[in-house]
Structure formats: structure tokens, C-alpha cells
Amino acid sequence: MAKRNIIKMGDPILRKTSKPVEVFDGKLYQLIDDMTETLHAVGGLGLAAPQVGILKRVCIVEYDDKLYELVNPVLLRSSGKCVDNEGCLSVPGFRGLVERPQEIDIRYYDRNGVPHEQHAEGYFARVFLHEMDHLDGILFADKMIKKIIDRD
């Protein structure tokens, strides 16, 4: 495993649409393992492949001590609305208030190509949606209704 560099806002890679994974091979395993090591090294709730410069529809979410490895995730249903604050490893220096659905159902594949469905609510849903936005070149800063400057 190897830690990878996290790309920051301003780099055009973060604005590109990622391509679906078609082959579930060792290269995919390596990418997911490297992303996990990177997330653990820097701390955070999730990381998407474009943040490490790979334009593939892969992201990881770590929530309540459980790691979710999402390949080709899609949003099946969403309902409700809630506003909460979020930040991003690619957007240092500030956080923002963003409106997102309260509840979602998503479908994704794991690293072995096995499909899964997951229901999520509240902040758990928010983390999935934030990471999935990265796969379409969207950052929370595009959606925020209020900017919150970090105090060091």
C-alpha cells in the first residue's frame, strides 16, 4: 500500500467526470487500498478517486468505524432535506453549510464486483453524497449556502 497525494481545489482534475470501473482487478484493489491508507493518514470521513488523481468512479466512506468501498455508486432514491456543515480534504481552509437530502438509498459494487444497496440518513447520507459528487466533478463549495472559515 502507498499513501497518495490529495489534489486540491483549483486543479482541473477535480472538475472532470470520472469513468465507470469495468474491470475489477488488482489495479482496483491497489487503488482502494491506497485510498484507505491515505484517508487514515490524513483523517476524514471519505475520499474519492479523483482526489488522488484517478478519474474512476470509486470512493470510500468511513462512518461509525465501518469502511464502505463504493465502486460505480448510484443514487436510487432520496427524500427530505437537511442543512449541515461539511468540509473536504481537497478544500482546505474552510467548511460550508450545504443542503442535502435527509435520507437516501444507494447501490454500488464492492471491489469484487458484488452489488450492494445501502440506506443512509442524516450525516451518514451526507458523506456518501459528498463523495459521489466528486465523481461528477462537484465540490461542496459549489453548493454551500454559507461559508465557514476555519480558525487555526
Closest CA to 128 of 145, 105, 144, 148: 105
Nearer to Zn ion, 70 or 88 (CB): 88
Q: Could you tell me which stretch among 54-62, 88-96, 104-112, 116-124 binds Zn ion (CB under 5 A)?
A: 88-96
CA distance 125 to 114: 21
Q: Is residue 131 flagged as an active site residue?
A: yes
Nearer to Zn ion, 39 or 88 (CB): 88
Determine which helix (DSSP H) or strand (DSSP E) holds 31, and give its type and residue range: helix 26-42
Closest CA to 61 of 118, 7, 10, 131: 131
Task: Output the residue with the shortest Cβ distance to Zn ion.
Answer: 88
Q: Could you tell me which stretch among 2-10, 60-68, 84-92, 142-150 binds Zn ion (CB under 5 A)?
A: 84-92
Within 13 Å, how many C-alpha atoms sit on residue 126's CB side?
A: 20
CA distance 137 to 152: 28
Q: Which of 14, 88, 98, 132 binds Zn ion (CB under 5 A)?
A: 88
Q: Is 45 in the site for Zn ion (CB under 5 A)?
A: no
Nearer to Zn ion, 25 or 142 (CB): 142
Q: Which residues bind Zn ion (CB under 5 A)?
A: 88
